[in-house]
Amino acid sequence: MVEPISPAHPADASSFRNEWSVLLAAASPPPDPACLTQLLRSTDASRLILLAEEHGVIGHLAACLGDLNEDALHPRARQLLIDKQRTQNFLTLRLTAELFSVLERFASADISALVVKGPVLAMQAYGNPAMRSYGDLDLLVRQRDIRRATESMVAAGYQAAVPVSAIDAGKIPGQYLFSKPDSKLLVELHNDLTLRYFPRRLPIEEYFARQVRVSLDAHEAPALSVEDELVLICIHGAKHFWERLIWIADVAALVSHQASLDWERAAKSAEAVGAERMLHTGLRLAADLLNLQLPGKISAQVQSDTGAAKLVDGILRWLPAAGCAPPGLFERAVFRMRMRGGFLAAPAYLLRLSLSPTEEDWQENGQLSQNRLLDVLRRPFRLARKHGRGGNP
């Protein structure tokens, strides 16, 4: 394996302008080989690979370069890209195998689960699990099944970040995280209570009723419908301020790959959880940056959403730096309200996010807090400290 290349930090976005153009071209469905070849002539290969990794689009870049002449990229850089893609593929295979192991354990315990993002999104959006990098598995599980699911995961050798005692006490984390100490395997369980960035509580029973089966390595995985998945990834992107290109590429790829996508159903799915503007923002980013072609009626709706346009303007300021130059505390608060929209709904949404404690608020020094009011009051101060340091929300 070649030695890693260590170029400048992507926080200096101006120095990565040419490399950013290449990534946009590589992530556009479909990519234009002639355009990529031209752009690569003024690109620093080491910076390109660094930026691609930070944005989670190594698979996109590798796929595009595989169709170009070998001299389009320096041999050392091409080998480094191959090594990174190989590492990503090995992790993908391990996670996929573990996914079906988890699903089998849950099925034997009569626990229903839906796979979200990760490998099923890779198949729904790209038709190829190697195209998309992911470091964990995300499943949707009903709250009533969380305790048994936790016991099942612990019996399989996982460590639970949220102990059974917290579940019995009615504590609701940001996610139920499980990890294996001897590997990099991570599994997160979510439901309508943990997914608090949904403006309104997600209708989990409707999601289960609309589920589809996605073929994955000669198996079938239960997954969200394409329309519900589209809404979910737009909310996920908004949650993280759309700081990485992969989230926008996923929107563009999912819409492009799913020719039979039911736009009326997608709109109703977004409306049900109050995420119309989040959906419009994701679609507008994909259209403006990656040339996603939207149906005329949908394009008109997206373009007429002035609130989404303002959000996109802000996102474009910090997006190229891949989270290395995040928005400040005040800008984050304004973004949260704008992505919800509404004179009353926007501040109510921000207030709810600011006062809904997670495991970081009710776990301290390994001890479980017994004072719910203190948990609520502690959260905004912790978030202010974290945001003040430029950390993630």
Rounded to the nearest integer, the mean pLDDT of the chain is 89
Last residue of a domain, one of 295, 325, 355: 325
- Asked, for residue 4, whether it belongs to a domain, the answer is no
Q: Are residues 48 and 182 in the same domain?
A: yes
Average pLDDT over residues 278-294: 97
- Asked, for residue 192, whether it belongs to a domain, the answer is yes
* Alpha-carbon radius of gyration of the chain: 21
Q: Are residues 268 and 165 in the same domain?
A: yes
- Pairing assessment for the beta strands 114-116 and 137-140 based on DSSP bridges: antiparallel
Is the predicted pLDDT of residue 171 greater than 80, yes or no? yes
Residue 189 Cα to chain centre, angstroms: 14
Domain residues for the domain of 364 are 326-393
Average pLDDT over residues 338-353: 92
**pLDDT tens-digit profile of 124-159?**
999 988 888 888 999 999 999 999 999 999 999 999
Query: Quick one: pLDDT at residue 69?
Result: 67
**pLDDT tens-digit profile of 172-226?**
999 999 999 887 789 999 999 999 999 999 999 999 999 999 999 888 999 999 9
Q: Are residues 82 and 199 in the same domain?
A: yes
Query: Quick one: pLDDT at residue 12?
Result: 62
Q: Are residues 272 and 258 in the same domain?
A: yes
* Cβ atoms within 10 Å of 68's Cβ, excluding its own: 15
**pLDDT tens-digit profile of 215-272?**
998 889 999 999 999 999 999 999 999 999 999 999 999 999 999 999 999 999 999 9
Q: Are residues 334 and 319 in the same domain?
A: no
Last residue of a domain, one of 325, 347, 377: 325
Query: Quick one: pLDDT at residue 30?
Result: 87
Using pLDDT thresholds of 50, 70 and 90, give the confidence band for residue 3.
very low
Is the predicted pLDDT of residue 285 greater than 90, yes or no? yes
Average pLDDT over residues 321-347: 90
Is the predicted pLDDT of residue 74 greater than 80, yes or no? no
% pLDDT > 90, the chain: 64
Query: Quick one: pLDDT at residue 365?
Result: 66
Is the predicted pLDDT of residue 73 greater than 80, yes or no? no
Q: Are residues 296 and 333 in the same domain?
A: no
Residue 364 φ then ψ, to 5°:
-140, 125
Is the predicted pLDDT of residue 109 greater than 50, yes or no? yes
Is the predicted pLDDT of residue 72 greater than 60, yes or no? yes
- Asked, for residue 367, whether it belongs to a domain, the answer is yes
Query: Quick one: pLDDT at residue 4?
Result: 39
Is the predicted pLDDT of residue 89 greater than 50, yes or no? yes
Q: What residues contact residue 70 under an 8 Å CB cut-off, 6+ apart?
A: 78
Contact 260, 252 (CB under 8 A): no
Q: Are residues 216 and 147 in the same domain?
A: yes
Q: Are residues 340 and 295 in the same domain?
A: no
% pLDDT > 70, the chain: 93
Is the predicted pLDDT of residue 38 greater than 90, yes or no? no
Nearest to 99 by CA among 116, 123, 86: 116
- Asked, for residue 2, whether it belongs to a domain, the answer is no
Which helix (H) or strand (E) covers residue 115, if one does? strand 114-116
Rounded Cα distance, 62 and 27, in Å: 11
Average pLDDT over residues 7-11: 58
Confidence (pTM): 0.91
Q: Are residues 347 and 259 in the same domain?
A: no
- Asked, for residue 271, whether it belongs to a domain, the answer is yes
Query: Quick one: pLDDT at residue 11?
Result: 59
Query: Quick one: pLDDT at residue 44?
Result: 87
Query: Quick one: pLDDT at residue 357?
Result: 85
Q: Are residues 71 and 93 in the same domain?
A: yes
Domain count, the chain: 2
| 80: CATH | 3.30.460.40
Is the predicted pLDDT of residue 295 greater than 50, yes or no? yes
Query: Quick one: pLDDT at residue 391?
Result: 46
Query: Quick one: pLDDT at residue 200?
Result: 96
Higher pLDDT, 86 or 129: 86
Higher pLDDT, 136 or 4: 136
Query: Quick one: pLDDT at residue 333?
Result: 92
Rounded Cα distance, 349 and 340, in Å: 7
Average pLDDT over residues 302-328: 93
Q: Are residues 205 and 278 in the same domain?
A: yes
Average pLDDT over residues 84-90: 88
Rounded Cα distance, 268 and 163, in Å: 36
Q: What residues contact residue 321 under an 8 Å CB cut-off, 6+ apart?
A: 10, 11, 12, 13, 243
Is the predicted pLDDT of residue 392 greater than 50, yes or no? no
Q: Are residues 267 and 376 in the same domain?
A: no
Higher pLDDT, 310 or 45: 310
- Asked, for residue 3, whether it belongs to a domain, the answer is no
Rounded Cα distance, 198 and 239, in Å: 9
Is the predicted pLDDT of residue 2 greater than 50, yes or no? no
Higher pLDDT, 35 or 287: 287
- Asked, for residue 5, whether it belongs to a domain, the answer is no
Last residue of a domain, one of 300, 325, 350: 325
- Asked, for residue 124, whether it belongs to a domain, the answer is yes
